[in-house]
Amino acid sequence: MRRIGPREVLRLQKINFVVLRHLLPALLRKKNRNPEYLAPRVRKVVLALGPPFVKLSQLVSSSPGLFPAVISNSLRDLLDDAPPEPWDTIQPVLEKGLGPRISQFASIETEPLAAASIAQVHGAILRDGTEVVVKVRRPGVEERFRRDLRLLRVTARIIQRLSKSARVMNPVAIVDDVVTTLRQELDFGREAASMDRFAANLKSFGSNDLIRVPVVHPDLLGHGVLTMERINGIKVDDLMKLQLTGLPLLELLKAGVRAWIEAACEHGFFHGDVHAGNLMVDGNGKVVFLDFGIMGELDETTRLVIRRGVVALLHDRDFAEVTRCLAELGAQMGHRATEERAANALRQLVEPELAKPLAEIDYNDLFMRALRLARPKGVQLPRSMVLLGKQVLYFERYAKLVAPDYDILSDTYLLEFMLE
């Protein structure tokens, strides 16, 4: 990534201006340094700075265990209800991407069903009466993302050098992941292929009858345009509506989590953005995975190490083996840490939590204790664990909503294929 140029300098000035404009009162007055005061102002900052910051806010909005819930809640609707582009700017992208094939549509809704940071989705009907949705990329979004991500990478490097707490979470790896996945999200041809591959993997292994992936219309795929079947359903975090359906929500939760774990640890090809806007339950009681723009891949060696580590942690309670697996994945244990010390520290931190139901696990407290433990020893998590952990946090939130008394960490159903 090249050094920042004049345009990035101007953008950095704007970012500083927007941040100071909305957050300076909290910095100057101690009584304002609380989540309730900050939440609406953080939201204004995200909206003012546009799609790249909307994208980065997804981790915050889907992880109230690590961030104050009031701030997470204030950003949650931006997952799939960001300010949309007007139809007159979207229509040219659609027409250019499909060319003469656009005549296959009988009608297209000008108001989007959902709008996110990269693209927005419009309902449509084909001439044969088939209901579909059309995903259309926002114009000019690629350059805006690349510019802002260059700035964020420079910022992450500075933070990583100056802050031992931040170094544990490997902020450069997080930004690098966003850069990598951006290339995937902008390529709708790749996304279509990912949908087919993900669905085929789940059909080939185990029992995934409760999982559904939308079917792509390959003849209506073009640059910046992706057409797929329309599936109506309820988002996984809309607990009130889900409860009214009378569906077995715990069973669906377990099916969704198991399918994702299987995808990552068996097939090595997993959905890399399972926030609430990308998961829903359809009218037939199936868990629907949406938006395959971000996919993660793990080679066989990494998969086997992760499987060893997960089984050692959740089934065998072998913390020495967990420590060895983390080291094999690239974790930096620090200059003063031995394997025995690291294993004992991990045991003291994690073992008391393993027998608790979800409602009793305070992930914010657990995270802060882990940070205090790791910071003075120079520990840094491996990139693969940071990125997988982000998805686990999403599922943890849904599990707490649907089944707060569920002892998810002791449920061998989720790990059966690993134990075999």
| Largest separation between any pair of C-alpha atoms in the chain | 68
376 phi and psi angles, rounded to 5 deg: -70, -15
**CA 183 centroid distance within chain:** 16
Kindly report the backbone phi and psi dihedral angles of residue 164, in degrees, each rounded to the nearest multiple of 5, phi listed first. Answer: -65, -35
The Cα 330–Cα 322 span in angstroms is 13
Six token digits for residue 355:
């027998």
Q: Do the Cβ atoms of 187 and 294 come closer than 8 Å?
A: no
Residue with tokens 């057409």: 227
d(CA 199, CA 212): 8
**Residue type for 125, please?**
I
Amino acid at position 73, single letter = N
Name the nearest CA neighbour of 236 among 304, 296, 188, 287.
287
Which one from 80, 148, 237, 273 is the annotated catalytic residue? 273
Q: Where are the alpha helices (DSSP H) in 126-170?
A: 141-162, 164-168
CA 314 to chain CA mean position, Å: 23
Alpha carbon 34 to chain centroid distance?
Answer: 26
**CB contact set of 42 (below 8 Å; sequence gap of 6+):** 22, 23, 71, 74, 75
Pairwise CA distance, residues 229 & 124, whole Å: 10
b/e map of 160-179 (b: 16 or more CB within 10 Å)? beeeeebbbbbbbbbbbbbe
| DSSP per residue, 162-225 | H-HHHHHT-HHHHHHHHHHHHHHHT-HHHHHHHHHHHHHHHHHSS--TTEE-PPB-GGG-BTTE
Residue 273 designated active-site: yes
- Residues with a catalytic annotation lie at 273
